[in-house]
């Protein structure tokens, strides 16, 4: 396993379209996170899964955003009716199940541009 | 309300010297702290972490110091190398409160000059 994998790396879409991103975590990790990063800012937390259960959601996650993690493996993040303000880098991360060494390992991200 | 603050947007250091990156936090529930390095167009790469039960953690050239009373942590890189040039993010979580989300600072861009 080579780490967290995200697909696609880049996505350009027209305003109002729906987009879906995929994340494949490190195989032995049961925790999976989605973050969003805009220029000049640090990553901002969106949501967190432990196995297939979505345990935390940020206020940033409007009703246009939905995330799933069926069977506790890969995850998808869908944005409906995209807006220009959704343009950002979407980062996925995963971490192990212990109570120590819970550092999250990030994928390379999906760069979304809404035109 | 920014709970994790990195007040220096940029830092330049000569190769071979020490780089010190600083981070302050306001949320007393934070009990686990991490540093990440990020190159352009890539995701953040984990560097080093520290639990609030410790005041120092060392890994090779990287040392993180935690001062809980001041709500301050710092990352020391010795000796600095040109390949260390990147944006460094400080992050924190409240594991004791059952929260695994990371709260990040805005980052400090480190430039190591050969």
Are B105 and B41 in contact by the 8 Å Cβ rule? The answer is: no
pLDDT digits (tens, 9 = 90+) for B55-111: 999 999 999 999 999 999 999 999 999 999 999 999 999 988 888 889 999 999 999
Determine contact: B30 vs chain A, CB below 8 A.
Answer: no
Inter-chain residue contact A43 with B44, CB threshold 8 Å: yes
pLDDT for position B51: 93
* CA-to-CA dists, residue A82 to A27, A51, A89, B90, angstroms: 31, 28, 14, 30
pLDDT digits (tens, 9 = 90+) for B28-42: 999 999 999 999 888
Using DSSP's 3-state secondary structure scheme, residue B85 falls into coil
Q: State the Cα–Cα distance between residues A74 and A58, nearest whole angstrom.
A: 20
pLDDT for position A100: 56
> CA nearest B42 in A: which residue?
A108
B25 Cβ neighbours under 8 A, 6+ residues apart: B3, B4, B5, B33, B71, B72, B73, B92
Instruction: Tell me the nearest-neighbour CA distance from A26 into chain B, angstroms.
Output: 14
pLDDT digits (tens, 9 = 90+) for B103-112: 999 999 999 9
pLDDT for position A99: 57
Token pair recorded at residue B91: 């992050």
pLDDT for position A98: 66
Q: Between A45, A56, A106, which is nearest B43 by CB?
A: A106
Q: State the Cα–Cα distance between residues A101 and B25, nearest whole angstrom.
A: 21
Q: State the Cα–Cα distance between residues B50 and B58, nearest whole angstrom.
A: 9
Distance from the first to the final alpha carbon of chain A: 35
pLDDT by residue, tens only, chain A of 115 residues: 579 999 999 999 999 999 999 999 998 889 999 999 999 899 999 999 999 999 989 987 889 999 999 988 999 999 999 999 999 999 999 998 765 556 889 999 999 999 9
Instruction: Tell me the nearest-neighbour CA distance from A18 into chain B, angstroms.
Output: 23
Instruction: Tell me the nearest-neighbour CA distance from B51 into chain A, angstroms.
Output: 9
pLDDT for position A35: 96
Chain B residues touching A45 at Cβ < 8 A:
101-103
- Between residues A30 and B20, which one has the greater pLDDT? B20
pLDDT for position B100: 84
From chain A, which residues contact B within 8 Å (Cβ)? 4, 6, 31, 33, 35, 40-45, 48, 50, 55-56, 58, 91, 93, 95, 99-109, 111
| Residue of B92, B98, B100 to mutate, testing the A interface (most A Cβ within 10 Å of its Cβ) | B100
């Amino acid at each position: 396993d080579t780490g967290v994998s995200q697909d696609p790396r880049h996505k350009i879409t027209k305003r109002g379209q729906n987009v879906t991103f995929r994340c494949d975590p490190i195989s032995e990790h049961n925790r999976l996170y989605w973050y969003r990063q805009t220029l000049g800012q640090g990553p901002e937390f969106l949501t967190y899964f432990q196995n297939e259960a979505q345990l935390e959601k940020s206020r940033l996650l409007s009703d246009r955003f939905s995330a799933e993690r069926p069977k506790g493996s890969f995850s998808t993040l869908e944005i409906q009716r995209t807006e220009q303000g959704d343009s950002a880098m979407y980062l996925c991360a995963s971490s192990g199940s212990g109570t120590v060494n819970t550092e999250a390992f990030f994928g390379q991200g999906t760069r979304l541009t809404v035109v | 309300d920014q709970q994790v603050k990195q007040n220096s947007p940029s830092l330049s250091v000569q190769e071979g010297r020490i780089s010190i990156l600083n981070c302050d936090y306001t949320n007393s529930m934070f009990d686990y702290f991490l540093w990440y390095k990020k190159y352009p167009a890539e995701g953040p790469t984990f560097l080093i972490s520290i639990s609030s039960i410790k005041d120092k953690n060392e890994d090779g050239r990287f040392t993180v110091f935690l001062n809980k009373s001041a709500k301050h942590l710092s990352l020391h890189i010795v000796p600095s190398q040109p390949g260390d040039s990147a944006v460094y993010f400080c992050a924190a979580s409240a594991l004791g409160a059952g929260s695994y989300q990371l709260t990040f600072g805005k980052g400090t861009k480190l430039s190591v000059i050969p």
